[in-house]
């Protein structure tokens, strides 16, 4: 200070910095990473919020990298996942959920068109793992195990790789090219897959491998209690898809003009829609309970109805006699779940009937293995580490679960891979504490403008080909920008801009930290954080 300046009444700039107002504080802001509801409900444990945050910046490669940390099949799952994430998206309370599924597909497709590969594996452990079955669960397990440095071999009984992704989903929903592209990445990692290679003797395999993962699926169709007279055309949905897939031709499948599908699950819907595409003109789905209680996904039911498929609810099939189906009407109480016969009968005509009332696990492979047993409900029993009663033999996917979706299968593959890795290395699987889930009330939604959701346009016609609608890069950015980033800082800089003390420091890399020297603990940053990523905690 120049001594010519008047004493005390004139001061140089910023001398207040010596006054450390942090001492006033009783509450202290902390940046937290909370659990967005989408991430919380994703069976595969995808970090949806994080990959959306990359996508909205146009960093599609990074977005894809984040997806494949938990799910090696973005393009596949972007088509067939039932996206429970969107049902819990906090944005639903604001306008409409983020179209996560469509974005996953878009990013998955970009990855395929750019030929992006998985990052190379860590050094080899020298351990060998056999995976039985190349469905989503087996493939996912192979991917995670391979990334952990293990040698992996998959044995597949069928001619084609992919399990139910290949055989359980019609091609107009999931084209072969997509399945092939995403599986190729796994084989490129060094996973060996042998098709037409049914494992007959699991015991002998046990000597050759350090661990085995059974992802054998539930491939045997359940036979309904229906009297089928000779001369009737009956086909099982699983067999129908298998034939269509293996023969790569639809000429051999003759369903006729009128088709009935028996069942209420996703397979039934898929079969009915497939029947339409194979030339049927009139397709009836016969289901014993109400429309509301159909296990098939709402979205699929909606699409089927929009294609002209009729659903005959509250009916069971008593018999099929040539082209006549005799049905009995049912009474169903949705609240109690009690289904009773009415005694009233009704007929409908159909050239063929497709049964789609479920599949069960073929347990022949485990019959002579000590320790492994089928649990209630016809599934293979596993402990919390995904291991069966036999040491070193793990299981997952449809074979162990009554909830059979590809997403859950991937989740089992991932989980099992980590437990198998722990088993092989003698380590324990690290149990991470899950952060709190961010609900809508924790958000400050004043900062989120209303933006209409980008949806796929409805198909112009019913086709055997997939609807080829690609989002533009701009659309991907706009739609992923609709993500509220629940519980995770998205660098909106409200805290930095609203701090009356300049006590939020913006670092050169754009990240933020609280300057405890000056933070008075007012809490504005926490209240004005749009996404609830700042928590006020008692000062110690």
Instruction: Give 222's DSSP letter.
Output: P
Examine residue 125 and tell whether it contacts another protein (CB under 8 A).
Answer: no
Query: Could you tell me the smallest distance in angstroms from the CB atom of residue 99 to another protein?
Result: 20
Examine residue 249 and tell whether it contacts another protein (CB under 8 A).
Answer: no
Examine residue 3 and tell whether it contacts another protein (CB under 8 A).
Answer: no
Examine residue 538 and tell whether it contacts another protein (CB under 8 A).
Answer: no
Q: How far is CA 520 from the centre of its chain?
A: 44
Q: Quick one: 371 or 497, whose CB is closer to another protein?
A: 497
Instruction: Give 387's DSSP letter.
Output: B
The Cβ of residue 405 has, within 10 Å, a number of other Cβ atoms equal to 20
> Angle of helix 100-114 relative to helix 176-188, nearest 10 degrees?
60
Examine residue 537 and tell whether it contacts another protein (CB under 8 A).
Answer: no
Query: Could you tell me the smallest distance in angstroms from the CB atom of residue 479 to another protein?
Result: 17
* Single residue of 116, 118, 332, 498 touching another protein by CB under 8 A: 498
* Single residue of 111, 288, 494, 533 touching another protein by CB under 8 A: 494
Query: Could you tell me the smallest distance in angstroms from the CB atom of residue 134 to another protein?
Result: 46
Stretch that binds another protein, among 3-11, 321-329, 364-372, 373-381 (CB under 8 A): 3-11
Q: Would you say the C-alpha torsion 235, 241, 243, 247 has a positive or negative sign? A: positive
Examine residue 336 and tell whether it contacts another protein (CB under 8 A).
Answer: no
Task: Determine contact, residues 321/232, Cβ cutoff 8 Å.
Answer: yes
Tell me the C-alpha to C-alpha distance, in Å, between residue 540 and each of 23, 317, 505, 526.
Answer: 12, 69, 21, 18
- Under rule CB under 8 A, how many of the chain's residues touch another protein? 51
3-state secondary structure of 338: strand
224: its two tokens: 């309904």
Task: Determine contact, residues 193/187, Cβ cutoff 8 Å.
Answer: yes
Query: Could you tell me the smallest distance in angstroms from the CB atom of residue 438 to another protein?
Result: 17
Q: Quick one: 142 or 485, whose CB is closer to another protein?
A: 485
Q: Which of residues 13-52 bind another protein (CB under 8 A)?
A: 13-21, 24
Q: Which of 493, 521, 519, 522 is closest to 506 using CA atoms? A: 493
d(C-alpha 61, C-alpha 57), whole Å: 11
Query: Could you tell me the smallest distance in angstroms from the CB atom of residue 37 to another protein?
Result: 21
| CB hemisphere CA count around 3 (13 angstroms) | 0
Partnered with residue 333 across adjacent β-strands are 338
Query: Could you tell me the smallest distance in angstroms from the CB atom of residue 500 to another protein?
Result: 4
Question: What phi, psi does 349 have (nearest 5°)?
Answer: -100, 145
Query: Could you tell me the smallest distance in angstroms from the CB atom of residue 485 to another protein?
Result: 11
d(C-alpha 208, C-alpha 153), whole Å: 11
Stretch that binds another protein, among 33-41, 309-317, 377-385, 518-526 (CB under 8 A): 518-526
Task: Determine contact, residues 188/429, Cβ cutoff 8 Å.
Answer: no
Task: Determine contact, residues 267/240, Cβ cutoff 8 Å.
Answer: no
Tell me the C-alpha to C-alpha distance, in Å, between residue 400 and each of 65, 163, 243.
Answer: 29, 15, 26
* Single residue of 44, 237, 330, 522 touching another protein by CB under 8 A: 522
d(C-alpha 466, C-alpha 277), whole Å: 12
Examine residue 518 and tell whether it contacts another protein (CB under 8 A).
Answer: yes
* Single residue of 499, 514, 532, 533 touching another protein by CB under 8 A: 499
Query: Could you tell me the smallest distance in angstroms from the CB atom of residue 519 to another protein?
Result: 9
Q: Where are the beta strands (DSSP E) in 50-98?
A: none
d(C-alpha 325, C-alpha 317), whole Å: 7
* Single residue of 503, 514, 532, 533 touching another protein by CB under 8 A: 503
d(C-alpha 193, C-alpha 134), whole Å: 8
Q: How far is CA 485 from the centre of its chain?
A: 19
Task: Determine contact, residues 196/157, Cβ cutoff 8 Å.
Answer: yes
> Angle of helix 48-55 relative to helix 60-67, nearest 10 degrees?
170
Stretch that binds another protein, among 267-275, 333-341, 394-402, 513-521 (CB under 8 A): 513-521
* Single residue of 449, 457, 460, 468 touching another protein by CB under 8 A: 449
Q: Quick one: 57 or 203, whose CB is closer to another protein?
A: 57
* Single residue of 8, 338, 457, 460 touching another protein by CB under 8 A: 8
Examine residue 256 and tell whether it contacts another protein (CB under 8 A).
Answer: no
Stretch that binds another protein, among 39-47, 137-145, 365-373, 522-530 (CB under 8 A): 522-530
Examine residue 462 and tell whether it contacts another protein (CB under 8 A).
Answer: no
Query: Could you tell me the smallest distance in angstroms from the CB atom of residue 529 to another protein?
Result: 10
Q: Quick one: 6 or 337, whose CB is closer to another protein?
A: 6
Residue that has been written with the tokens 């299968």 in this structure: 409
| Contact flags string 135-154 toward another protein, x per CB under 8 A | --------------------
Examine residue 10 and tell whether it contacts another protein (CB under 8 A).
Answer: yes
Task: Determine contact, residues 417/506, Cβ cutoff 8 Å.
Answer: no
Q: Which of residues 473-492 bind another protein (CB under 8 A)?
A: 491-492
* Single residue of 92, 291, 326, 536 touching another protein by CB under 8 A: 536
Examine residue 497 and tell whether it contacts another protein (CB under 8 A).
Answer: yes
Examine residue 307 and tell whether it contacts another protein (CB under 8 A).
Answer: no
Examine residue 5 and tell whether it contacts another protein (CB under 8 A).
Answer: yes
Instruction: Give 442's DSSP letter.
Output: G
Which residues in this chain contact another protein in the complex, by CB under 8 A?
4-21, 24, 446-450, 491-494, 496-503, 506, 508, 515, 517-518, 520-524, 526-528, 530, 536
């Amino acid at each position: 200070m120049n001594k010519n300046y008047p004493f005390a009444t004139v001061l140089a700039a910023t001398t207040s910095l010596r006054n450390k107002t942090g001492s006033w504080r009783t509450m202290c802001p902390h940046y937290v990473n909370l659990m967005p509801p989408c991430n919380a409900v994703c069976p595969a444990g995808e970090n949806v919020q994080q990959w959306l945050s990359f996508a909205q910046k146009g960093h599609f490669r990074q977005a894809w990298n984040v997806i494949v940390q938990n799910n090696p099949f973005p393009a596949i799952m972007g088509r067939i996942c039932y996206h429970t994430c969107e049902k819990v998206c906090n944005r639903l309370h604001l306008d409409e959920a983020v179209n996560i599924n469509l974005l996953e597909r878009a990013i998955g497709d970009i990855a395929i068109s750019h030929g992006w590969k998985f990052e190379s594996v860590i050094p080899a452990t020298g351990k060998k793992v056999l995976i039985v079955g190349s469905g989503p669960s087996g493939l996912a397990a192979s991917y995670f195990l391979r990334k952990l440095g293990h040698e992996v071999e998959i044995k597949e009984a069928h001619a084609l790789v992919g399990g139910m992704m290949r055989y359980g989903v019609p091609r107009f929903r999931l084209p072969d090219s997509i399945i092939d592209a995403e599986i190729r990445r796994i084989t490129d990692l060094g996973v060996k897959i042998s098709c037409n290679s049914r494992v007959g003797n699991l015991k002998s395999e046990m000597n050759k491998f350090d661990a085995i993962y059974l992802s054998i699926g539930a491939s045997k169709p359940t036979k309904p209690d229906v009297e089928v007279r000779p001369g009737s055309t009956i086909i099982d949905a699983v067999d129908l898809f298998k034939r269509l897939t293996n023969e790569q031709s639809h000429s051999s499948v003759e369903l006729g003009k009128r088709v009935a599908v028996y069942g209420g699950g996703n397979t039934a819907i898929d079969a009915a829609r497939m029947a339409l595409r194979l030339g049927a003109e009139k397709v009836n789905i016969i289901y014993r309970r109400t429309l509301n209680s159909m296990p098939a996904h709402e979205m699929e039911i909606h699409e089927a109805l929009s294609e002209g498929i009729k659903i005959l609810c509250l009916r069971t099939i008593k018999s099929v006699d040539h082209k006549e189906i005799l049905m009995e009407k049912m009474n169903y109480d949705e609240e109690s779940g009690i289904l009773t016969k009415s005694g009233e009968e009704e007929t409908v005509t159909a050239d063929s009937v497709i049964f789609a009332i479920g599949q069960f696990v073929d347990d022949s492979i485990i019959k002579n293995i000590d320790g492994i047993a089928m649990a209630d409900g016809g599934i293979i029993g596993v402990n919390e580490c995904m291991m069966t009663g036999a040491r070193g033999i793990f299981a997952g996917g449809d074979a162990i679960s009554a909830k059979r979706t590809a997403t859950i299968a991937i989740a089992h593959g991932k989980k099992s891979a980590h437990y198998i890795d722990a088993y092989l290395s003698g380590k324990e699987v690290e149990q991470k504490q899950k952060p709190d889930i961010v609900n809508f009330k924790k958000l400050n939604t004043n900062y989120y403008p209303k933006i209409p959701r980008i949806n796929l346009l409805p198909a112009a016609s019913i086709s055997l080909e997939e609807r080829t609608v690609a989002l533009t890069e701009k659309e991907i950015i706009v739609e992923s920008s609709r993500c509220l980033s629940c519980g995770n800082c998205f660098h909106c800089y409200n805290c930095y801009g609203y701090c009356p003390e300049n006590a939020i420091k913006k670092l050169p890399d754009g990240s933020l930290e609280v300057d405890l020297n000056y933070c008075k603990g007012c809490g504005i940053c926490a209240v004005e954080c749009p996404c609830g990523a700042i928590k006020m905690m008692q000062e110690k």
